[in-house]
Amino acid sequence: MANVSLRDVRKTYAGGFEAIKGINFEVGDGQFCVLVGPSGCGKSTLLRMVAGLETVTGGEIDIGGRVVNQIEPAQRDIAMVFQNYALYPHMSVYNNMAYGLRNRRMGEAEIKTRVDEAARILELGAMLERKPRQLSGGQRQRVAMGRAIVRQPKVFLFDEPLSNLDAKLRIAMRIEIRKLQRRLKTTSIYVTHDQLEAMTLADILVVMNGGQVEQIGNPLAIYQKPATTFVASFIGAPPMNLMPLQSDELTSQLAGHGSATGGEAGILGIRPEDFMISNEALEGGIALDLTVEAIERVGAETFIYGTRQREIQGIAANPGELPPGEVIVRIPGATAPASANWACRGTRVNHPEPSPGSASPAPMPPESAVDGFCRGCRGA
């Protein structure tokens, strides 16, 4: 096991494109670090630089107290698990796991001991004589992890290992990977674009965007206190509601609570779960006008999609972000409140006119009955 330190690491390709722009962070001995970000942010490139599969243009990569910039991948004492498993189709599970050890001229007795132990940990004992084509996707991924485990490396590197699996299997394998890492206590760096995967696996979360680090820290700390609007909108599903403080509707109320001054520029960030259905004014809350556009019931919770009446509607600037003027509210339970009583923690909700041929909504009660207030708001 070993620490991994990146000091001002840079990667520039021919033609001048800078893929990695001076990244600094350290992964402690035995910690699980997750690199997360949208496609093209440089997370896989950075992982391949740690593995030695990409050259380092600038800075230093230190593994276990040794700078490895000029050291070949085979000599870095790391093991990598790839997205496509990279199994030899003509070899059995046993031989796939033993192949790397044989290339190192290890004795057959030691190879068997290591393979049997990895098979026991991963519950592959009954499958050692099967070929990859006889295995499910999850079983193939476990074989790929077993091949890494038998190396007994200082560092595990995972490059989106679950992206080829279906949703249910991804959840099961995610739990298996975390249990395995805690059992082996091996320093690990894991790349994913799935923020839920990142939140549940990481000891240290590194949020990347455009070849740079946006924020580093504990997953829950990043969720609760995002450093930038990108982090606020990327971490969390559904994303945080971001509202420019240019509307009199917001600035006047914030000024009244001592949270902002008139004309101050900024963005108000509110997580969907920080809204509350309420017919009563809540002290310290912020009232918003909202028109409900759609409702999603997903079982344990319900999502309400609406638009703010006083905001100009538009198109999201980046994939995954909310369009300007749109708001998402998350409430527990599968049953949403009656249509006549929509209101969100400081949000007055007005129903749009019914479309031709649709049933008319229930009459709206007096305005005072649908005023609610928002609390727990966080600036981003």
344 pLDDT higher than 80: no
Domain co-membership, 89 together with 172: yes
Reported confidence tier of residue 336, pLDDT bands at 50, 70, 90 = low
Whether 212 and 43 have beta carbons less than 8 Å apart is answered as: no
Mean pLDDT to the nearest integer, 315-337: 69
319 pLDDT higher than 80: no
pTM of the prediction? 0.79
Query: pLDDT by residue (tens digit) across 73-126?
Result: 989 999 998 888 889 999 999 999 999 899 989 999 999 999 999 999 888 889
Domain co-membership, 107 together with 228: yes
In this predicted structure, what is the pLDDT of residue 372?
A: 34
Which residues face 302 on adjacent strands?
Answer: 297, 331
Domain co-membership, 264 together with 369: yes
Query: pLDDT by residue (tens digit) across 353-364?
Result: 444 444 443 333
In this predicted structure, what is the pLDDT of residue 334?
A: 65
177 pLDDT higher than 90: no
Domain co-membership, 140 together with 274: no
Query: pLDDT by residue (tens digit) across 247-273?
Result: 555 666 665 555 544 444 678 888 888
Domain boundary among 210, 234, 258: 234
Domain co-membership, 283 together with 352: yes
**Higher pLDDT among residues 44 and 141, named by residue:** 44
Domain co-membership, 130 together with 181: yes
CA separation for the pair 35, 33 (Å, rounded):
7
Q: By percentage, how much of the chain surpasses pLDDT 70?
A: 76
Domain co-membership, 296 together with 224: no
Identify the CATH number of the domain in which residue 112 sits: 3.40.50.300
Domain co-membership, 66 together with 208: yes
**Higher pLDDT among residues 235 and 347, named by residue:** 235
Domain boundary among 179, 201, 234: 234
In this predicted structure, what is the pLDDT of residue 64?
A: 92
**Number of residues assigned to the chain:** 380
The rounded mean pLDDT for the chain is 80
Its domain, for residue 16, covers: 4-234
In this predicted structure, what is the pLDDT of residue 355?
A: 45
Mean pLDDT to the nearest integer, 333-345: 52
Domain co-membership, 156 together with 183: yes
Domain boundary among 180, 206, 234: 234
Domain co-membership, 132 together with 217: yes
Number of domains making up the chain? 2
Domain co-membership, 149 together with 62: yes
Domain co-membership, 86 together with 166: yes
